[in-house]
Amino acid sequence: MKKFLLSAVVATSLVALPALAENYATPKEAEAMVAKVVKALQANRDQTLKEITAKDKKWVDRDLYPVVYDMSGKCLAHGKNPKTVGKDLIDMADANGKEFVKERIDLAKSKGKFWQDYAFSDPISKKVLPKSTYCEKTGNDIVCAGVYKR
């Protein structure tokens, strides 16, 4: 009986873990999201910014959502937190005190495309987790989308 229960627990875990992982975006999906936003911004910038901030389903996928900044750190669109749109976030710091928006601006100026690590609140678990965000500079905008490290 113990062997049967142990086997059942192991089998359930093997099925549940991949299902749990499906709730979270991958780095490839973050890169694809950024590419999709960049293309949409080039086609119709104002409409794309509005759709992102309105949490249009084509821009929000589980814990994956885009954020668009200008080169001064002003938030132009946010797929999860519309209250930040229009605000200067240049001095925003993560849970560890890292001024990640300021760093993001510097990286956009020097690299154009990059991954950045910091700590941020996960919208699914509501916990502060390590996060990696992929960003690309397009014109005077910086488009970002990130994944949580588990």
Give the residue among 49, 54, 48 at the shortest CA–CA distance from 75. 49
- In tens, the pLDDT along 32-88 reads 999 999 999 999 999 999 999 999 999 999 989 999 999 999 999 999 999 999 999
> How many helical (H) and strand (E) elements, i.e. helices and strands, does the chain have?
3, 5
pTM of this prediction?
0.83
Strands (E), 4-110: 66-70, 75-78
pLDDT at 21: 52
Q: 66 pairs with which residues across the strands?
A: 145
Contact 117, 131 (CB under 8 A): yes
Phi, psi for 28 (deg, rounded to 5):
-60, -40
pLDDT(25) > 80: yes
What's the CA dihedral at 53, 122, 20, 63 to 10 degrees?
20
Which structural domains are found in the chain, ordered by start? 25-148 (3.30.450.20)
